[in-house]
Structure 1
Amino acid sequence: MDIIKNQFFIGFCINFILIYIFCKIPLMTKSGWISAGILGTILWGCLSWQGWMSVVIYLLFGSLVTKIGFKFKKEQGIAEKRGGRRGPENVWGSAATGLFLAIMTKFNAANVVMFKVGFAASFAAKLADTFGSEIGKRFGKDTYLITSLKKVERGTEGGISLEGTLASFLGSIFMAFIMLRLSIISTKYHFIVVVVSGLLATLTESIIGAKFQNKYKLSNELVNAIQTSIASFFAIFALVLYSYFIN
């Protein structure tokens, strides 16, 4: 118990010292930085520095890719609000599922591997979504509604492009690689499961955007939470299925 308390205390100190130093960088709003500090503290306490670092890398690359072609996207009226800076709603919409699974590793030791794979898949899906959306809006030549393949304007909910889909795939691969290098996941099978789950969840999120988001007035943050949950479900289901047939 003392070790766990120490991990949370270390996480708290490191996160808020770093936030104090780097909060002037326009990656997040003030409340976004505070949310990131809370998130980082809990992640450090549950998954040590590796879990924390994986999400720092996600936030960094997710924020940076938003800046790609930002002037063009702003002129087109499809740029992220607040100059691409992330607020608390962005932090929790993207990380709530992963955070839940990280916490579960402390309450169910028998299924730690399963929870870690789900954790990795949730962030692979979110980075895939960010890569696909931001790169697709800037470099996508033709955008099609995923449910009908009819040509639509850039930035349309549920719209996909070849360039954006390839970027999503690369984003999922990149995040899975980071999770593997940081030992959140540990096998080639885990890596493949995380990559595929991240991409499938991103495509599913596009279907949700096309069919349900405007109809039911779903916020982007809620859709993000649904997407990451779907990715985790896919990954955990694949892991359980694999274990069943192997055993």
Structure 2
Amino acid sequence: MTTTITTTLPPLSHHHLRRTNLPSFHKPLISTFPKPSPMHFIPLTRLRSTTGSNIIIPNLPTLHNAILLVQSSPPTWQSAIFTNLLIFLLGSPVLVTGLSVSGIVAAFLLGTLTWRGFGPSGFLLVALYFVIGTAVTKVKMAQKEAQGVAEKGKGRRGPGSVIGSSAAGCVCALLSIYGAGGKSFTRLWELGFVASFCTKLSDTVSSEIGKAYGKTTYLVTTFKVVPRGTEGAVSVEGTVAGIMASILLASVGCFLGKIKVAEAVVCVLASQIANVGESVIGAVLQDKEGFKWLTNDAVNVINISLGSILAILIQQLVLRYWLP
């Protein structure tokens, strides 16, 4: 026989329960450090190579800051100067083939102004002009030198040539930087900028190709046959090459978004009218008594200014009623 014993336990009250104080984890055990400021620069890292020489390399934050500076939008004077210093240092082997030392200094000022006014796309347009212009200047250099029609210094251009080629573009850049005329005029200054370099590239290519390959050169005012290199002379070969160069640069400007398709046509048209005007000035006035001041650089300024102004006038008088 089995006997069952039942025991009744008293209920537990809250006095019997002990509260255990456990550590709180609502705060992180590891403190977080503040993120470095984007403009915070850390000193360069100095390493010692196996040969014992010191190697200085920039650390990652510094490189990051440099990239941010180059990518500044809209461009600032600081970003324009820094970017041009970097480009000119890396591109110095190419620059010295087409420019004298003083010409490089003038080109640096032009590049800085262009980057500040029209950004990387404007700078790229000027760089393309420089590359093509330098290349055609070198074409058949020995032949040109033998005929006495080559550019001085093996085609390396000085500050006068740089200024003569870019004066109108620099004015357009300054007008854009300081907002002359308000936002509605910004596109006009871009158009004038592109047109000025289309004009100058067309002039350079037509002149250099004409001196290298022109079979017959004619004086633009009388169509009389004259020797190559005569002021105011034109050739079929040079003229065709100049038109193609203008079309190329205007197309690049359109591709980069600086101008519209119809405005690219305007740039080509304005450049050819300006180049004819330059040839007339060269034939009628240059090297004549009382016009000794009218040097090639001075004529270049007149030429590119005329091309720039014509493009703006055509846009205002014609295209503004057709383009949206």
**Alignment TM-score, normalising by the size of structure 1:** 0.94
Q: Measure the CA separation in 2 of the matches of 1:246 and 1:168.
A: 28
Q: Which runs of 4+ in 1 moved over 4 A?
A: 3-6, 243-247
Aligned length: 245
Alignment of 1:1-247 (within 5 A): 7-25=76-94, 26-106=97-177, 107-108=179-180, 109-185=183-259, 187-215=260-288, 216-217=291-292, 218-243=294-319, 245-246=321-322
Q: Is the 8 A contact 1:168 1:202 kept in 2?
A: no
TM-superposed deviation, 1:4: 7.8
Note the alpha carbon deviations across 1:67-123, whole angstroms, 9 max, x for none.
011111111110000100121111111001011011111323221111111111110
Identity value in percent: 37
Q: Hey, what's the Cα distance between the residues in 2 that align with 1:6 and 1:136?
A: 39
Larger RCO: Structure 1 or Structure 2 (Cα < 8 Å, ≥ 6 residues apart)?
1
Q: Which runs of 5+ in 2 are unaligned?
A: 1-71
The structure where helix makes up a greater share of residues is 1
- Looking at structure 1, the residues matched to 269 and 82 of structure 2 have their Cα atoms a distance apart, in angstroms, of 36
SS of 2:221 mapped into structure 1: coil
Alpha-carbon shift at residue 20 of structure 1 (Å): 2.4
Pair member with larger Rg? 2
Give the Cα–Cα distance (whole angstroms) in 1 for the partners of residues 76 and 314 of structure 2. 31
Q: Is the 8 Å Cα contact of residues 128 and 168 (structure 1) preserved in structure 2?
A: yes
Distance (Å, rounded) in 2 between the aligned partners of 1:189 and 1:244: 11
Matching residue's letter, 2:270: S
TM-score by length of 2: 0.72
Deviation at 1:242, TM superposition (A): 1.5
The amino acid that maps onto 1:191 is A
Could you give the per-residue CA deviations for residues 179-222 of structure 1, whole angstroms, max 9, x where no partner exists?
A: 1111111x221011011111111111111110111121211111
Give me the whole-angstrom Cα distance separating, in 2, the residues matched to 1:245 and 1:14.
39
Structure 1: tracts of 5 or more residues without a match: none
* Aligned-residue offset at 1:243: 4.8
Q: Partners of 1:242 and 1:194 in 2: how far apart?
A: 13
1:124-155 superposed Cα distances (whole Å, 9 cap, x missing partner): 00000000000000100000000000000000
Do 1:142 and 1:151's aligned partners in 2 also have CA atoms closer than 8 Å?
A: yes
Please tell me the root mean square deviation across aligned C-alpha atoms, in Å.
1.8
